[in-house]
Amino acid sequence: MIIYGFCNKEYTKKVFGLSLLTFGRILLVATTCSVKHFFETCRAKNFAIEKLIDIASHLMLPSVGSRKSLLRFASTAAKNTSILLRAQLDLNDVVLRSPEYKESITRRQLSKNLIEDVDFIVKNRPIQSQTYTKINALKRERTELAEKIQKKEPNLDEVKARLSEIKSEIKPLEKYVKELQEEIYSKAEALPNLLDPAVPASEIKEELVQYINTSAEEVGKYVGPDTSKDHKIIGERFGLFDFETASRISGPSWYYLLGDGALLEQALVQYALSKARRHGYKMVIPPSIVRSEVVHACGFKPNDQNNEKQIYQIEDEPRSLTGTAEIPLGALHSSTIFPSNTKFPIKYSGVSRSYRAEAGASGKDTKGLYRVHEFTKVELFHFTTLERARDELESVKNFQLEIIEELDLKARLLNMPTSDLGAPAMKKYDIEAWMPGRGSWGELTSCSNCGDYQSRRLGIRFNGKGDKVAHVATLNGTCMAVPRVIVAIIEQNYDQENDVIRIPKVLVPFMDGRNVISKIE
């Protein structure tokens, strides 16, 4: 069958449910590549397996046999195929700005091996380039000699002998440069992002930016822990939580939210989402299970620096549970080039269940809701240009400040030190609330500017000036980490005299119009 006979818009729409343009793109792939590449490319467009089989069968693609064989091939390919392009790293930038990369590694208190990796890249990039130059010179010579043979010029025996020598020279050089390239690439991929000049000078001490709903004078009077305001004791007495049953059913650091506890979670989520929508965020409910390569591309590692498990990975599957909606939101536009008329920033608010394997690690914060394995979280995610990324971080931070101010929680805004930054982050703000029951400050939100670290690994670009393609900047921030906000509300708003928990005014419409949570008699 002549495949070009399909190029009729009525036929392609009727048979495949595709526009002629889309089908034409698939057709181009099908006629110029292997069957495996055909399936990989089409899957990137999110076509169902059955539709791919229909197209492949109609196009009579070679070497795979019957429809049953095609289905088996496609099913196998679906399990083994990466959905992401290889990270588009700027190796020249590592060479040119190697002192800055070393500074970032040192100030983040990361392994000194990474500094050695930077030195390796700086030393071997020129060698890689020189080797490619030598290989290309040999290939040009080979072409010239082949032309002499074709023209039957004199001394053909010498020409043939030299061709044989070139072949033996090229093969080891190509093997060497390929291995060198892979080593350079793997070392570069492991490097952290550069640092924003505005991060604190101290590697371990955060910088206080401002207090929220409180003052330095009032903070000076904070003492603790005060067990009379412990959220776990109060919450269990009010029938809001059940940790004991959850521990028996699921294990330590899981919990049931009951009655008004469950209602309070939903109130916080609805308040956060409604506020985000008013600020121009598009709401998303993303998957909580993603491919592990996406987790890696976003800069999250299975284990932390102390080799403690951070991420739940599905056994015998290349998939992981997400610790934050940042991961699927970041991947929403993976392998995408935004057109030149795109209006940045693109802003999403995603609500999801989040899973953290490290909850209660080393016996830290194991009591109550503060550090748990599973929780509801509303996340903010921005795509923008590198030029606008710093201002965009301030925008995210200011939005978070509004939320904490409206919840009337006593808190503080911190510019976080380098040792507290994840590999993708150039700069990060945290907001911590005073939690009198714990007798300490506890993180409620964070927001980070990740520059082009994630976009290079997720393949997210845009057409800039003169249609020059550049990578976008990504930013993320917490809109509502529900359990910790519940901790802060209970511990700050418990009225011991009246034995009630006062509900923040902005949550009253979402709490059936009630101002307080009372103990169940």
**Per-residue pLDDT tens for 81-116?**
688 989 999 999 999 999 999 999 999 999 999 999
Q: For 389-395, what is the mean pLDDT?
A: 98
The pLDDT of residue 5 is 45
The pLDDT of residue 304 is 66
Strand runs (DSSP E) across 86-235, as ranges?
207-212
List 380's β-bridge partners, or say none.
349, 477
Q: For 226-233, what is the mean pLDDT?
A: 94
**Per-residue pLDDT tens for 143-166?**
999 998 888 888 888 989 999 999
| Identical fold, 91-190 and 207-518 | no
The pLDDT of residue 6 is 45
**Per-residue pLDDT tens for 61-80?**
444 445 555 555 555 544 55
Query: In this structure, are strands 282-284 and 346-355 parallel, antiparallel, or unpaired?
Result: parallel
Give the Cα separation of 220 and 333 in Å (integer): 46
Q: Which CATH number fits domain 207-518: 3.40.640.10, 3.90.25.10, 3.30.930.10, 3.40.50.300?
A: 3.30.930.10
Sheet with 494-495, side-by-side order of all strands: 494-495, 500-502, 516-518
**CB-CB contact of 483 with 201 (8 Å):** no
Q: For 457-470, what is the mean pLDDT?
A: 91
Give the Cα separation of 49 and 52 in Å (integer): 5
Of 103, 105, 309, 273, give the one whose Cα is nearest residue 190.
Answer: 105
Query: How big is the chain by its Cα radius of gyration, in Å?
Result: 29
**Per-residue pLDDT tens for 262-272?**
999 999 999 99
- pLDDT band of residue 4 (cuts 50, 70, 90) is very low
* Residue ranges of domains in the chain: 91-190, 207-518
Give the Cα separation of 330 and 340 in Å (integer): 20
Question: Is the per-residue pLDDT at 363 higher than 70?
Answer: no
Per the annotation, binding residues for ATP are 356-358, 372-375, 443-446
| Domain 91-190 in CATH 1.20.1730.10 | no
The pLDDT of residue 366 is 73
The torsion angles phi and psi of 460, rounded to 5 degrees, stand at: -110, 115
**Per-residue pLDDT tens for 291-326?**
999 999 999 988 766 667 889 999 989 999 999 999
Per the annotation, binding residues are 324, 356-358, 372-375, 379, 443-446, 476
**Angle 7-8-11 (CA atoms, 0-180°, nearest 5)?**
110
Strand runs (DSSP E) across 173-235, as ranges?
207-212
Quick one: what percent of the chain has pLDDT higher than 70? 82
Per the annotation, binding residues for L-serine are 324, 356, 379, 476
- Count, residues in the chain: 521
**Per-residue pLDDT tens for 8-45?**
556 556 555 666 666 666 655 555 555 555 555 555 55
User: What is the residue-averaged pLDDT of the chain?
Assistant: 88
The pLDDT of residue 224 is 80
**Per-residue pLDDT tens for 420-440?**
999 999 999 999 999 999 999
Question: Is the per-residue pLDDT at 56 higher than 70?
Answer: no
